[in-house]
Amino acid sequence: MAGKAWHAPGRYGALIGRTPFSGHILAQSIREEEHRADHIKIVNSGLNSLSRFAEETPPQFDSEQIQAAVQAGHDLGLRTMVHANGQEAVRVALEAGCDSIEHGYFMGNDNLLKMAEKGITWVPTDVC
């Protein structure tokens, strides 16, 4: 069980998550979470446009924030899954050492190859 996902204030994810605690960065909030789940879920992008070709949403957290958050989860013995679509949001998550990418639409071949090289799980959530 992941519990509620973490997302940046004012960005996509309110339906499934919460923002870092007031005055805290993401990693601090993960470390201070009282009701621990069995893994961490971070929303690092919104949905890409289904009506405007190649329009991607920018990452919600930068490389440094995601890396610190993934490390916080790993320090707690928890795997970190990152909801990410688009080349930049997926790249940031992969460089941070996430354990899985959720969705990953429009991630590009380079990111897909990096995932394979690092043994990172991809959960595309493809529905027919």
Handedness of CA 127, 4, 45, 94 (dihedral sign): negative
How far is 126 from 128, CA to CA, in rounded Å?
7
Q: What is this structure's pTM?
A: 0.90
Q: Confidence class of residue 56 from pLDDT cuts 50, 70 and 90?
A: confident
pLDDT (average), residues 36-63: 84
Whether the pLDDT of residue 128 is over 60: the answer is no
Q: Which two tokens stand for residue 9?
A: 């204030």
Q: How many CA atoms within 13 Å lie on the side-chain side of 52? A: 6
pLDDT digit string, tens, across residues 5-46: 999 999 999 888 999 999 999 999 999 987 778 899 999 998
pLDDT (average), residues 86-94: 95
Q: What topology is assigned to 5-123 in CATH?
A: TIM Barrel (3.20.20)
